[in-house]
Structure 1
Amino acid sequence: MTNAPTPLMLTEARQTPQVIERQLRENQGAVRAVAQAIRERQPAFAVTVARGSSDHACTVLKYALETTLGLPVASGHPSVHTLYGATLRLGGALVIAVSQSGASPDVVETVRMARQGGALTVALVNVEDSDLARTAEFVLPLHAGEERAVAATKSYLASLTALLPVLADLTGDEALTRALEGLPDVLTRTLTLEADAADRAERYRYAESLITLARGIPFGVAQEAALKLKETSGIHAEAYSAAEFSHGPKRLVHEGVPLLAFTGADAAGEAARRAYADLMESGADLLALGTGEAPSGARHLKVPATGHALTDPVADALAFYLFAAHLALHRGLNPDAPPMLSKVTKTR
């Protein structure tokens, strides 16, 4: 394993600090334009449109919009329009589409329908000359550069940050502005956790199933983690809210299914920590990962704090990507070559 080429997944994840610095620098004009449009048009609600990793980024953005602007956010299902033929009444809505490639026809057509119906449409997209970028009224480029690994890393992380300067502008949140300015440096420090992440991952080299847990803002990172574990290691992984897992799914602890628990330092962090402590008392095999505090006695991949609840998930996700890539390597797998998968999926 030590003589093998470095996977693209790791190479691209390590580029994230530069990606975020470039995005913050080059998107200033677009940020002002989107913020001004939201001020002028005062959308009553928001709808996100995305698939896969981009949809997991939208879960984080949902919490961001609802907690900062009080704007209700729904996850749109593109097939409602493209397969069922329904035209949704989205006049007065803020519609946010997130896509690395901007090439999926169902996402593009849903945004086209929304814009024609009077919605304020914003695309967070990496390919700036894509169909999606041309269809939306406003574009916030991800600036992730070419991403060749099938498992998205830097584009997902850039999706988490692209809208945050708009929220900082709209709310006057100086703490968020400072956290964004310092985020590239914190992400550089996060990359120094790679050896620890590889060490933690070795424990799960023979795992067949794994549950990812989070509560609140980091839940979209838990969703992304479950996808990446499936994608890169073939592990049957599922994401649950820490608040929901203790209902029926807790039964899986008895079966020895290990838990990857994301910790946060936000308003939900203490509730999540208590839930994790209760699971450990029930005998759960639990690894904590994140910026928040872990239960006493838990194994913990502690991630540097970024200074704001809305930027902490970026560092958490980057640390997880290091963990996931090395887990695949421990299992003798190439995380860049998952069977049956390709980089761009064009869903209709």
Structure 2
Amino acid sequence: MPSSIDRPEPLMLQEARQTPDVIARQLVENAEAAGALARVLRDRRPPYAVTIARGSSDHACTVLKYALETELSLPVASLGPSVHTLYGTRLDLKGALVIAVSQSGASPDVVENVRMAREGGALTVALVNVEDSDLAQAAEFVLPLRCGEEKAVAATKSYLASLTAFLPVIAELSSDGKLKEALNNLPDALRRTLELEDAANALAARYSFAQNLLVLARGLHYGVAQEAALKLKETSGIHAEAYSAAEFSHGPKRLLAEGLPVLGFASNDAAWPATEAAYADLRTGGADLRTLGPAAGSTLRTPTTGHALTDTVPSALAFYLFAAHLALGRGLDPDSPPLLSKVTKTR
């Protein structure tokens, strides 16, 4: 769909619209690798898992953490890469499942931590888009994102592919037939999500002059809220912060007195009743709150997929449509955020 600005459509929108085909390709081409990894994990049941990532990839790891914990009862922690690369500590990760997520696979700190973990006896897995990258070579197992080249500075299809890459492994290990069915149907759900672009544009118009924005969610959608806050900073220069809907009342709620608007993610899972009650309380207190997600009554309601784990993907895709049009509506180019580049290499 053409934007309202007389300029070529941003790569961010073009690449976001590729997501249904990306996920369909990933599910087919990764089937053998996902099955092999699931068999190894059955035989080498890890006592816990850790994730290694930065930026959007780390937000995907937040979603993955909830997925592994709720479906497999596997505790998950986020590893601080600098503990090894800057402080020189070699963590004892023997027997652990170590999952690194990266679009480029080029950041030295992520690569070095995976090498350390593998040398120490961890089972290492890379979710990476560049299949001949240093990260892919460092890990024992690789689940490619299958995105093709991603040119936009603001990641879209690579983040969404990071959400789905490990789900077939979880489906195998949990024998969850509903998750397998939801994964098979996900590309069609994402195509229906793209039909919401006009509605996402209309919602974005409400925030054309916002300088600050609070983003709330809970459970599986919390990693999507983290990603949303980052994208609002990157593409529109909005000072956006993500909070758990459960934690928001512990102090950050004070910001509502300053008139800050709120965007809440509305899931369709076990976290929703508590989240819905929190949102109702905020509205009673006068909060300017709009919602996005598969829950009934959402301001921008996304398609349900048949499983809570896969529901996060249409929510994130719909948000990307919202964010791109918000930037365009503010007269900005989401492909050219000041001071940023596509690949950031940290040590």
Q: TM-score, normalised by structure 1?
A: 0.98
Matching residue of 2:319: 320
d(CA) in 2 for partners of 1:181, 1:293: 23
d(CA) in 2 for partners of 1:344, 1:250: 35
d(CA) in 2 for partners of 1:282, 1:254: 10
Matching residue of 1:238: 241
Q: Deviations over 1:167-220 (max 9, x none)?
A: 001111000000000000000000000000001101111101001000101000
Q: Secondary structure of 2:299's match?
A: strand
Give the partner amino acid of 1:109.
E
d(CA) in 2 for partners of 1:345, 1:220: 20
Would you say the 8 A contact 2:5–2:328 is kept in 1? Answer: no
Matching residue of 1:224: 227
Matching residue of 2:295: 292
Matching residue of 1:82: 85
Q: 1:26 aligns with which of 29, 44, 48?
A: 29
2:274 maps to 1:271: yes
Matching residue of 1:180: 183
d(CA) in 1 for partners of 2:313, 2:213: 22
Unpaired segments ≥5 residues, structure 1: none
Give the partner amino acid of 1:252.
L
Q: Deviations over 1:74-116 (max 9, x none)?
A: 0001000000000000001000000000000000000000000
Would you say the 8 A contact 1:211–1:258 is kept in 2? Answer: yes
Q: 1:166 aligns with which of 152, 166, 169?
A: 169
Q: Aligned runs of 1:71-220 on 2, under 5 Å? A: 71-220=74-223
Would you say the 8 A contact 1:232–1:334 is kept in 2? Answer: yes
d(CA) in 1 for partners of 2:90, 2:6: 55
d(CA) in 1 for partners of 2:31, 2:21: 16
d(CA) in 1 for partners of 2:121, 2:236: 43
d(CA) in 2 for partners of 1:73, 1:265: 23
| CA shift for structure 1 position 270 | 1.1
Matching residue of 2:286: 283
Matching residue of 1:329: 328
Matching residue of 1:247: 250
Matching residue of 1:37: 40
Matching residue of 2:304: 305
| CA shift for structure 1 position 154 | 0.2
Q: Secondary structure of 2:127's match?
A: strand
2:54 maps to 1:55: no
Would you say the 8 A contact 1:264–1:293 is kept in 2? Answer: no
- What is the alpha-carbon root mean square deviation over aligned residues? 0.7
Would you say the 8 A contact 2:218–2:244 is kept in 1? Answer: yes
Q: TM-score, normalised by structure 2?
A: 0.98
Give the partner amino acid of 1:13.
A
d(CA) in 2 for partners of 1:292, 1:132: 37
d(CA) in 1 for partners of 2:71, 2:159: 21
d(CA) in 2 for partners of 1:28, 1:307: 20
d(CA) in 2 for partners of 1:129, 1:320: 31
| CA shift for structure 1 position 247 | 1.6
Q: Deviations over 1:94-144 (max 9, x none)?
A: 000000000000000000000000000000000000000000000000001
Paired positions, count: 344
Q: Deviations over 1:222-249 (max 9, x none)?
A: 0000000000000000000000101211
Give the partner amino acid of 1:336.
D
Unpaired segments ≥5 residues, structure 2: none
Q: 1:13 aligns with which of 12, 16, 27?
A: 16
Deviation above 3 Å: which 4+ runs of structure 1? none
Would you say the 8 A contact 1:257–1:285 is kept in 2? Answer: yes
Give the partner amino acid of 2:124.
T
Q: Secondary structure of 2:194's match?
A: helix
Give the partner amino acid of 1:334.
D
Give the partner amino acid of 1:161.
T
| CA shift for structure 1 position 305 | 0.5
Give the partner amino acid of 1:325.
A
